[in-house]
Amino acid sequence: MSDTITVLHDSGEVAVSYDELVKYHDKNHWGGVALAWKIIQLAAEILNENKALDRNLVRIRTGLNPPGLVDGFEYLTRAVTRQRLVVDPSLNQGPKSPFGSFSFVIGYGDKRLGLQLKEGLLPDDFATLGKKCQAGMGSEEEKSRWVGIKHSLGDVIMDKAPRELFDIVEQP
């Protein structure tokens, strides 16, 4: 795993470390932060021959919008600020989350990459448990389990290469 992702910014290259990304978010939705990191790594590899992505050319459609994922995309690409991130409920083919579906389309210039989180990486009750806890209706045990799942998911994601996490799919 690379310790940094380099992106091109109007003022030149910016090397961003994973630790900076985690500090920016605060670790509450660590799985989403890790997911954004791996998606951008894979996008740079496939869409730009492993070269730094120009933030001005990155566009993101996502089937979900948890805070960690959105913060990760924003810090790495500025897609939120530049209005190049669209939450699209029609991207609903991937595994489910309390926030939607783990489906993504990353645009870079005239290229596009469709991704879905691979099946089997999440507990079977991930979406249901998360929705219950997000609504404030989870028991103390369920809330504790939910927090644990989110944090362990970050570890699982960061321990894998991006291609181990995602299926490359046709973009809708």
Q: Residue 2: its pLDDT value, please? A: 61
Instruction: Say yes or no: domain 4-169 is CATH 3.30.1330.130.
Output: yes
d(CA 16, CA 169): 28
Mean pLDDT, residues 144-157 taken together = 91
Q: Residue 4: its pLDDT value, please? A: 94
| pLDDT bracket for residue 151 (50, 70, 90) | confident
Is residue 85 scored above 60 in pLDDT?
yes
Is residue 1 scored above 60 in pLDDT?
no
Strand order across the beta sheet in which 12-17 lies: 12-17, 4-9, 53-54
Give per-residue pLDDT as tens, 61-81.
999 999 999 999 999 999 999
Total residue count of the chain as it appears in this document: 172
Mean pLDDT, residues 116-131 taken together = 95
Is residue 27 scored above 90 in pLDDT?
no
Mean pLDDT, residues 18-27 taken together = 86
Q: Residue 26: its pLDDT value, please? A: 72
Q: Residue 127: its pLDDT value, please? A: 95
| pLDDT bracket for residue 118 (50, 70, 90) | very high
Is residue 172 scored above 70 in pLDDT?
no
Is residue 44 scored above 90 in pLDDT?
yes
Give domain limits for the chain: 4-169
Q: 67-77 and 18-25 are packed helices; what angle lies between their axes, rounded to 10 degrees? A: 130
pLDDT above 70: percentage of residues in the chain: 98
Q: Going by DSSP bridges, is the β-strand pair 4-9/12-17 parallel, antiparallel, or unpaired?
A: antiparallel
Q: What is the mean pLDDT of the chain?
A: 93
Quick check: 13 and 28 in contact, CB under 8 A? no
Q: Residue 110: its pLDDT value, please? A: 96
